């Protein structure tokens, strides 16, 4: 049963080939057997999962037949989950048990999903390798000496290893798409505001967006359809009807206009990934698409702009973790200042501290105009580049990452090298447009992905292109050896 996709599980449950309880028990056993090799879970909620599976079976027996009713998933550990530890992979929240559900958790529970637990991640979603977690690094099931990508590395590793069929993730600068590419999955970052952020612990509020990771575009369409929609509790959530993503999957690609940005294929891109991208292009051309070169001239400024804006917002968002109201508190503080300093100093990891300091500096008097304001101007230019490009093409295609997965610890001493792994994904967050990564081949036995970008609220178009590509290829069907 662990080999089934989410769509196959839906059909199997509807046909009564197996029950939600049987499925959950099988996957809980796999988690117990294989997760010690991967460290993808922070918390396994076995009792809760059994209760939810029994409830799903009862609902089916009563005549309900929703596609996700009884489907097992797990949540990235920044989505608040009532009665369950929500740690954001940080020591400072190690003892925090959420008193409420995030909107994403609530929506998926209402659809009948069975949550098997909370997944490991980079601390406060800050990282590209899933090495900054307080609970230790996550390992890539394709090569356990390699990183799975971050910050949704736990989600990606668990799905790739067939411990669960799908998972939630979050994407601030590529944290769904990059780990999807490095573990042979499909992952989609929706348009900013498409999925509620209420109850999702914030890293950078103007960039964060929740989304699904799964093995196929069809599975992502199933999950995103349940996750998306207006939420009055989130002031940044857009009040716009949710498209029927499943209905969009089977549209032919005849006449689809694909843009290849010339800036994607310069120095820094592994030539073997370039070859994978061009092989993908040839498949899409056979399916009826046309291809042309385009320009995104301000992409060169994306990394410095992002690493001013995101840390600035992080320094503000993380100021609430002070040892006073909830979370970790240092022992025997001598006064309030000592409480703040030691609680934060002992509770946050090195990468989080680095970004808080950078962000606080960028927002400080005398530097705001020179750094933060200038970065926001660059952000506007990047957005304008995309708006102009989408007047000429329907989707933009390129590599998701410049390299395949690297060895654990290889870039730990050089944060800039790790930051550069997000070069192709960051622009979508800065502009707020949707992006998707899909499996597109292997380099030295490690999977690589191709990224698709589309205009605002065109998630259905991305899923359509990915689904048609997956009908013509089998990259997404390949599983890591031993799992």
Give the residue-averaged pLDDT of 54-66. Answer: 96
Assess contact for 175 and 203: CB atoms under 8 A. no
Report whether pLDDT(245) > 90.
yes
> Catalytic annotation on 233?
no
Domains of the chain: 6-258+391-477 (3.90.1300.10)
| Residue-wise pLDDT tens digits, 282-334 | 999 999 999 999 999 999 999 999 999 999 999 999 999 999 988 999 999 99
| Residue-wise pLDDT tens digits, 33-49 | 999 999 999 999 999 99
Cβ atoms within 10 Å, residue 182: 34
Q: Which residues contact 50 (CB under 8 A, 6 or more apart)?
A: 21, 24, 25
Assess contact for 215 and 476: CB atoms under 8 A. yes
> Catalytic annotation on 412?
no
- Mean pLDDT estimate for the chain: 97
| Residue-wise pLDDT tens digits, 200-216 | 999 999 999 999 999 99
Residues 212, 136, 423, 258: is their CA dihedral positive or negative? negative
Of these residues, 40, 115, 133, 151, which one is catalytic? 151
Of these residues, 87, 170, 175, 437, which one is catalytic? 175
Of these residues, 19, 24, 40, 76, which one is catalytic? 76
> Catalytic annotation on 175?
yes
Assess contact for 150 and 137: CB atoms under 8 A. no
| Residue-wise pLDDT tens digits, 395-451 | 999 999 999 999 999 988 888 888 889 999 999 999 999 999 999 999 999 999 999
Assess contact for 51 and 91: CB atoms under 8 A. no
Name the phi and psi angles at 39, rounded to 5. Answer: 60, 40
């Amino acid at each position: 049963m662990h080999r089934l996709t989410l769509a196959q599980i839906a059909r199997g449950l509807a046909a009564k080939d197996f029950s939600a309880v049987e499925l959950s028990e099988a996957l809980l056993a796999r988690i117990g057997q294989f997760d010690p090799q991967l460290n993808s879970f922070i918390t396994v909620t076995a009792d809760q999962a059994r209760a939810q599976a029994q409830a799903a079976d009862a609902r089916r027996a009563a005549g309900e037949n929703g596609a996700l009713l009884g489907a097992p998933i797990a949540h990235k550990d920044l989505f608040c989950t009532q009665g369950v530890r929500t740690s954001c992979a940080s020591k400072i929240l190690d003892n925090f048990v959420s008193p409420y559900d995030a909107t994403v958790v609530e929506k998926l529970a209402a659809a009948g999903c069975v949550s098997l637990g909370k997944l490991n991640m980079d601390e406060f979603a800050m990282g590209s390798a899933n090495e900054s977690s307080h609970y230790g690094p996550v390992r890539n099931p394709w090569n356990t000496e390699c990183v799975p990508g971050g910050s949704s590395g736990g989600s990606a590793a668990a799905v790739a290893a067939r411990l669960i069929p799908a998972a939630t993730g979050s994407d601030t600068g590529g944290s769904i798409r990059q780990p999807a590419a490095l573990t042979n999955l499909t992952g989609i970052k929706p348009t900013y505001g498409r999925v509620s952020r209420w109850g999702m612990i914030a890293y950078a509020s103007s960039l964060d967006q929740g989304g699904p990771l799964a093995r196929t575009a069809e599975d992502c369409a199933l999950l995103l359809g349940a996750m998306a929609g207006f939420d009055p509790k989130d002031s940044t959530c857009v009040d716009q009807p949710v498209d029927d993503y499943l209905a969009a999957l089977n549209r032919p690609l005849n006449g689809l206009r694909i843009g290849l940005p010339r800036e994607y294929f310069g120095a820094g891109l592994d030539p073997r990934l370039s070859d994978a991208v061009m092989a993908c292009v040839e498949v899409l051309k056979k399916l009826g698409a046309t291809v042309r070169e385009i320009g995104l001239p301000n992409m060169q400024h994306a990394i410095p702009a992002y690493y001013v804006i995101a840390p600035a917002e992080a320094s503000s968002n993380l100021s609430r973790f002070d040892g006073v109201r909830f979370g970790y508190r240092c022992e025997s503080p001598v006064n309030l200042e000592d409480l703040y300093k030691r609680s934060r100093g002992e509770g946050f990891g090195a990468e989080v501290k680095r970004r808080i300091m950078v962000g606080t500096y960028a927002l400080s008097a005398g530097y705001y105009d020179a750094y933060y304001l200038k970065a926001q101007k660059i952000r506007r230019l990047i957005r304008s580049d995309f708006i102009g490009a989408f007047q000429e093409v329907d989707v933009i295609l390129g590599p998701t990452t410049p390299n395949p997965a690297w060895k654990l610890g290889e870039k730990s001493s050089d944060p800039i090298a790790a930051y550069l792994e997000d070069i192709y994904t960051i622009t979508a967050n800065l502009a707020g447009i949707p992006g998707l990564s899909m499996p597109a081949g292997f380099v030295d036995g490690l999977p690589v992905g191709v990224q698709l970008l589309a205009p605002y609220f065109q998630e259905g178009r991305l899923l359509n292109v990915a689904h048609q590509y997956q009908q013509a290829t089998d990259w997404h069907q390949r599983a890591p050896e031993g799992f």
